[in-house]
Amino acid sequence: MHKYIIAQSTTGYEVYVDLIASPAGKYLSRQPYVINLLKEVFAVESLQGPEVTLELDMGRIIGNTDIVETTDKDTIFYAQPSKKIVFSRYAKNRHPTPSRQLTIILEKDEDGNYKIVDTWIGPSTPPFPGDSKENDTSKPYWSTHALVNDAQTVQSKTITKICPY
């Protein structure tokens, strides 16, 4: 693991990210300026609990979100993102939209520190259907929302118009 420390709290725990293997690290490699947003958040935010999901309004446009609300007019397809086994829902001919929101998912480790598991610009969303952390809101949410087609690379052999969930 390549542990990159984002912040040190006044109560003694560290907030860090694995820049190589975590979904957060992959996102940060494409959007490195988000590291400064994380530092801004953890300079004032205190954490409690074994798992924490933060959805923060940063008070200004901080970038673009790849998550869009869809209608019957959208052309939808499903595919597995690169190096993933769960299908995601995509909207063709849609573009990222400006967002003020930053979502951060953290887990407390065995040393009492917090690891950033995932982060992205945009609203907090439930996991995709089929994900190990799928919940009751996953299917309803992802039946009305999708990722922007060009935002991520997908495994081309998995592309389908038929909903796999």
d(CA 1, CA 16): 11
| Residue 155 confidence class, pLDDT cut points 50, 70, 90 | very high
Rounded to two decimals, what is the model's pTM? 0.89
For residues 77-103, average pLDDT: 94
Q: Where are the domains of the chain?
A: 3-158
Per-residue model confidence as pLDDT tens digits over 21-41:
999 998 999 899 999 999 999
pLDDT at 11 over 80: no
For residues 69-73, average pLDDT: 95
CA distances from 164 to 87, 112, 130, 158 (A): 7, 39, 9, 10
d(CA 124, CA 54): 8
